[in-house]
Structure 1
């Protein structure tokens, strides 16, 4: 029996994690969500699977996170095998498609772009991990996984020649190094961490960025510069299945790394 907590579980990749994990009745799955207002499909699934436990929280609030840790503890008898941080910010609508030089004279917009992404993709990730760390430490598996993006990888940026999505890229790169820092800090306690890109996945967020045939073709062409085999987005089902395989193989040697859903630093898409 394993216990899992998924942060950001109402839709897309997070929901698919809940769906696949809860299909095994031996798993206890904690779905951490921001609001019940968007949890329709999650509630429907939970109504048919008693091993899903939905907890509404606010990962920007330290006091709410402490309450959340206590709520999880009551469900899992004081431990948590795997924490998956899937919450994210893609940046601001006004500026996420601008390259660095376009912010000359728009410094306030640049700060908003970076700050908004860092808030969710770095600061709140650390707040959440620290609040739930005592539960992870008491578990058998002791794993913490941060869902990142290949766009936050320097060699990938150079290969795809994508100059924009600054807030998202910078904040995900920051999240990657934080996970490496956690890995070296917590190694002696047997806790293993991982930053992992889910691939180019067909989610609402991905569709928002490539919301026209022209935008989709631009994204596709950019990714094909690195990997000519890329034909388009993969399904959430395919992505999560691959990610769970990587999480299952997470050991001390891999701990702290940043990898793709294929478990390497090459096949990002």
Structure 2
């Protein structure tokens, strides 16, 4: 039975990963969450599908993650096939450009470092805790849900000077995956950073406070892809990503790809 861990599974893309994977009774799905307070729909799904296990953990705490890994290993026989790290933090002051922090330096440090913790540092904590299980798995895949806003060329073309902390942290997370790909090659482990596309989630909607903001975003993204019309559904995004993950092997380990398996980000 293939085993999957989805980190950040209560809603949006993470929830849809759990939903689609658990629809196949052959998959064993571990949904790692920060708090039960927001896990109502996930727990409801777990009641109807016995191959889902919801586990509350703390990705900022290596000791807690070790306990979580032991809990998973006790169920799977010490193995894990695929880890999907979907947890993220967007951060505040997203509209400020680098120079706009002049005179607002007290805001810069949390804006820069808080996303970096969740989107990069805690990635290492999570992978390291689960790595002994992954080494014993069959698929041996580590997947990081990144963002096109962390890509240098995308940022250059669409001319996006804001959301510094989020973009920098996603670029850092992507680099970490490439580092793991190099380190773990001899263990047969492959890694991938993947952008889910522009997905219709609560977080995406929160960033678009008006119809004018949506129109402005479409116009910005069309600098890169003239065919952009709007957001795609979590269902479409995850279906596409799972197809890319299925084809992941040593030849593309460590790469950063779109949900389409190429550099067509939207």
| TM-score normalised according to structure 1 size | 0.98
- Give the structure 2 partner of residue 250 of structure 1: 248
- Give the structure 1 partner of residue 234 of structure 2: 236
Structure 2 distance, partners of 1:116, 1:96, is 12
Give the gaps of 5 or more residues in structure 1: none
- Give the structure 2 partner of residue 120 of structure 1: 118
Structure 1 distance, partners of 2:211, 2:104, is 28
Structure 2 distance, partners of 1:185, 1:231, is 40
Q: Could you give the per-residue CA deviations for residues 94-121 of structure 1, whole angstroms, max 9, x where no partner exists?
A: x111111101111221111111100100
Count of aligned pairs between the two proteins? 266
Q: Could you give the per-residue CA deviations for residues 6-46 of structure 1, whole angstroms, max 9, x where no partner exists?
A: 00000000000000000000000000001110001001100
Structure 2 distance, partners of 1:245, 1:211, is 33
- Give the structure 2 partner of residue 195 of structure 1: 193
Pairwise CA distance, 1:130: 0.5
- Give the structure 2 partner of residue 263 of structure 1: 261
Q: Could you give the per-residue CA deviations for residues 141-199 of structure 1, whole angstroms, max 9, x where no partner exists?
A: 00000000000001000111111111110000001111000001000100000000000
Pairwise CA distance, 1:74: 1.4
- Give the structure 2 partner of residue 23 of structure 1: 23
| TM-score normalised according to structure 2 size | 0.99
Report the RMSD for the aligned CA atoms in angstroms.
0.7
Structure 1 distance, partners of 2:209, 2:239, is 26
Flag as ranges the 4+ runs of structure 1 deviating above 3 A.
none
Structure 1 distance, partners of 2:182, 2:247, is 18
Structure 2 distance, partners of 1:76, 1:54, is 15
Q: Could you give the per-residue CA deviations for residues 130-149 of structure 1, whole angstroms, max 9, x where no partner exists?
A: 00001000000000000000
Q: Could you give the per-residue CA deviations for residues 62-82 of structure 1, whole angstroms, max 9, x where no partner exists?
A: 111011001111121111000
Structure 2 distance, partners of 1:169, 1:217, is 21
Give the gaps of 5 or more residues in structure 2: none
**Does 2:89 correspond to 1:89?**
yes
